[in-house]
Structure 1
Amino acid sequence: MVEQRQQRPVQPVHNSEVYLLRQMCPAFPARPPLSPPSPITPDEDDFCGENIETLTLTQPAIAVCDEKLAIEKRLSNALHVLSTETAALQNLTALYSSDRYARDGFNRAVEAIARGQKDVDAYGQSSGKLVVIGVGKSGHIAKKLVATFNSLTIRAVFLHPTEALHGDLGLIGRNDTLLVITFSGKTPELLTLLPHLDKSLPLILLTSHTRPETCELIRHRPDTILLPAPIHEPETKSFGVSAPTTSTTVALTVGDALAIVVSQELHHSVASVFAKNHPGGAIGAALQNPSKTVRQLAIALDSIPVLAGDISNPTGADVLRAGYASPSGWVRIKAGVQEGIISPTRIKRLSSADLSKPLSELETWLVVSNRNDFVPVAADSTVHKAAEWVEGMREAVGDGRYEDDAVVSVMEKGECIGLMEVVRLLEEE
């Protein structure tokens, strides 16, 4: 009996709502130790040595954040303008690369302006000029282009359409070319002036229109030369305002292209013409270098490689290879009693058909073998003086001896010490 009671499991004793598990319950955990006392809160005056208000986000801190945001927004807006105008110029380049109307208009404009500038009066001066007409922002673009044309010795004047109707039409001569600038193609002042312009004079229109049938001014004068200067999107879409920005940029760019190309048509050396017309300011100081001598530009005669002597019958291809192998681009010919010089410009003129031809068939225009054909210049002559002399001789003689590919012989004590091309001399001047 005793053993049976010992084997009986101990039952919990119910006492109200508490079960006493006695031996069956694990021991309660020990009471945790008391937490250490909290540190004494310092007085307000002792807190970090300063008032608590200084650690909060104050008005000056907010102002700094606002200023940084304003700067970022400002720069972002500026970059948007720059990228938009860049896109407009890329669009313009693509237009003149492929569009028939744009390419034809530009060529006709160049021919018209150049033809007017080539007309000379009894004193040998150009009797024709370019009259550039515009109002508003287009008028300012017109004035800038007039300055550029004149600096490149392309005679040009500005004509305000309103002033033209009050007496300034007298500026226009019988050999002049007219360049009208209007983005819309329907500026009222220009439409009012149009009937009073001589219809026999070439009229070029620099405008946003890319087709003549969409332009009101051209409808009134169908023989107008269209010079497109469109923008890829309206300025109100780009910037939220219709102020002329992108439109004036593209108009100015087309005008600059026109000025440079016409100058290249009229002058052998655009650089020398500009230097002569612009002696003042930082640009003039940079262009004028009276101390530079011809000796400094010359290619030393003994540094020019000789076409390989083991080539019994050299061809155009041999000359071309020798020219590209030469550091200066010059080549000397020594074959028996034959001796001569071939300049870089002449080598570049070799065509595919010339490469297989023997040198004997090419030497009449390729090789300068007669020293009398050289243009002798003293080694210590300044570049400016030498270029002036060559320009004068070119106008006086006019037989091709002083053309761009002519060879300048740099002389010292009666001996040739170096060579250069006329075009190189004029470019440096």
Structure 2
Amino acid sequence: MGVERPPIQNSEVYVLNGRTRPAPPSPPTPCETRAISPVPDKLMTIAPSEVTGAYPVLEARLATAVHVLKTEAKALSYLARLYQTDSIARQGFNETVELIRRAMEMRGKLVIVGVGKSGHIANKLVATMNSLSIRATFLHPTEALHGDLGQIDTNDIILFITFSGRTPELLSLVPHLNPENDLIVLTAHTHPSTCPIIDRRPSAILLPAPISESETTSFGISAPTTSTTIALALGDALTLAISRELHGTSATSVFATNHPGGAIGASSPPPAAKTKLAEIAVPLADIPFVGGGWGTALATHVIIAGYQSPSGWVRYCENSVAPPRRIRRLQPEDMDKLATKVRGLVVTTPEWIVVREDISVREAIAFLEAAKMESARGEATYDDDAVIATAVEGKVTGVMEIATLMAQKS
């Protein structure tokens, strides 16, 4: 029986069948110990001034940013002064608002055209306008020449955005535009005589958007920076001015209705449903009287007053009004006629449908629908432009067109 031998446990190395054993391993060499220096207190907390002083790259970076911000702020101030003092800029802005407002009332839209960075500005303005129920669309000039001119309808207004005023794609498009569509040019030019696009379309309206100094002078490069900021700001100013005239104090609820999503939608309370006629009627006291004098006012005076009226309504005298839908139907041959001689323009009190202002919208709609069946064919007793007058104890307080009431039907 063999004897069990436990394994030898040591650190020596044996060579089998060797005649001699190797020397034991050398003892480990001790490492040199070095102390770690503590972090200086002055590096633990660094003030902003110390950062800029110690890191010139950061200081230069911030200096560039501040320079750009100050330059663009200066350009915006320059633009504001221009529209406060310059007659051409002020007239162009007022004419632009009038044209676009009239297009909206005629169910037209604003077609904004631009290329490059101006095209991006155009798309942004379209989005903002649509959120305020200002009908707008973007049109690329190259695509327009390849079939998209069909987007432009008779009652549409066209807005070009071009800093130089001589963008080749826009110049190529001008001859193909219908002369009946008004053209507005948002450009750096401050006088129509210097703008090549207006030279080709003399009837175009100039909307100046200059910068106080060139971008090359400001920043050493001609990249669109200040110029696009100015174009965007002027476009925003135009958008809000049109919205105010179209919607008045209801612009907030219009925006809330059109923008229910995101943080903006979450912070906006849902628009309250209008349940009473008084809530949708135009207050009679807010309707301006026509110029030209009672009995002598021409249709021209009525249409001018209609454009200046936030609601589109005009009072001919104490007992008669001209509703927006009827004003919009005026023809060029009517302009020199007395307003009372234009058939259907002025609606007198005997023609008004008088109802209590506290009646509900639902009840009023039901009343009209009940009166709708005058004949077996179901012809309507009242037209869409018939006048409904709201009253309290027999005194008229507001007016509306039947079309406005029926639009509330869910």
Whether the 8 Å CA contact 1:154–1:263 is kept in 2: the answer is yes
Distance in 1 (alpha carbons) for counterparts of 2:85 and 2:189: 16
Verify the 8 A CA contact 1:279 1:288 in the aligned structure 2: no
Match of 1:285 in 2: 266
C-alpha displacement of 1:288? 2.2
Aligned-partner SS, 1:204 = strand
Contact 1:134 1:142 in 2 (8 A): yes
Matched length: 263
- Displacement of 1:66 in angstroms is 8.3
* Equivalent in the alignment of 1:271: 252
Corresponding residue of 1:70: 57
Q: Report Cα offsets for 1:51-88 as digits up to 9, x if no partner.
A: 9xx99xxxxxxxx8887222221111111111100000
| Cross-structure match for 2:168 | 188
Aligned to 1:90: 77
Deviation string, structure 1 residues 207-238 (Cα, Å, up to 9, x no partner): 00000011111111111000000000000011
What is the SS of the residue equivalent to 1:231?
A: coil
* Contact preservation (8 Å) 2:52, 2:58: no
Q: Partners of 1:194 and 1:293 in 2: how far apart?
A: 45
**Corresponding residue to 2:94 among 82, 107, 113:** 107
Conserved? CA contact 1:133–1:180, under 8 Å:
yes
* TM-score (structure 2 length as normaliser): 0.56
* Pair 1:253 & 2:233 matched: yes
Task: Please give the alpha-carbon distance, in whole angstroms, between the structure 2 residues aligned to 1:95 and 1:232.
Answer: 11
Counterpart Cα distance in 2 of 1:117 and 1:276: 18
1:92 counterpart letter in structure 2 = L
2:223 is the counterpart of 1:243: yes
Relative to structure 1, the CA distance from residue 191 to residue 154 in structure 2 (aligned partners, 3 Å threshold; closer, same or farther) is: same
* Segment of structure 1 superposing worse, 162-171 or 266-275: 266-275
- Pair 1:261–1:70, CA change in 2 (3 A): same
1:148 paired to 2:135? no
Contact 2:355–2:391 under 8 Å retained in 1: yes
Give me the whole-angstrom Cα distance separating, in 2, the residues matched to 1:72 and 1:292: 55
Partner of 2:189: 209
Amino acid at match of 1:164: A
What residue is the counterpart of 1:218 in the other structure?
Answer: 198
Question: Counterparts of 2:87 and 2:274 in 1: how far apart (Å)?
Answer: 47
Q: Distance in 1 between matches of 2:247 and 2:191?
A: 32
- The one-letter code sitting in structure 2 at the alignment partner of 1:280 is G
Structure 1 runs of 4+ aligned residues shifted over 4 Å read 64-67, 289-294, 372-378, 395-398
Greater Rg over alpha carbons, structure: 1
Shift, 1:193, TM fit: 0.8
What corresponds to 1:399 in structure 2? Answer: 389
Q: Distance in 2 between matches of 1:195 and 1:293?
A: 48
Q: Is residue 145 of structure 2 the alignment partner of residue 165 of structure 1?
A: yes
Q: 1:134 to 1:401 in 2, by over 3 A?
A: farther
- The structure-2 alpha-carbon separation of the partners of 1:70 and 1:203, relative to structure 1 and needing over 3 Å to count, comes to same
Percent identity between the two aligned chains:
55
Equivalent AA in structure 2 for residue 68 of structure 1: Y
Distance (Å, rounded) in 2 between the aligned partners of 1:157 and 1:95: 28
Give the gaps of 5 or more residues in structure 1: 1-44, 56-63, 120-125, 295-344, 347-363, 365-371, 379-384, 390-394, 408-429
Label 1:400 to 1:130 Cα distance change in 2 as closer, same or farther (>3 A). farther
1:293–1:81 Cα change, 3 Å:
same
**RMSD value, Cα:** 3.9
Secondary structure at 1:267's aligned position in 2? helix
| Pair 1:65–1:86, CA change in 2 (3 A) | closer
**Residues 399 and 257 (structure 1), Cα distance of their counterparts in 2 relative to 1, 3 Å cut:** farther
Give 1:271's aligned amino acid.
T
Does residue 1:232 correspond to 2:212, yes or no? Answer: yes
Q: Which amino acid aligns with 1:287?
A: S
Q: TM-score normalised to the size of structure 1? A: 0.54
1:376 deviates by: 4.6
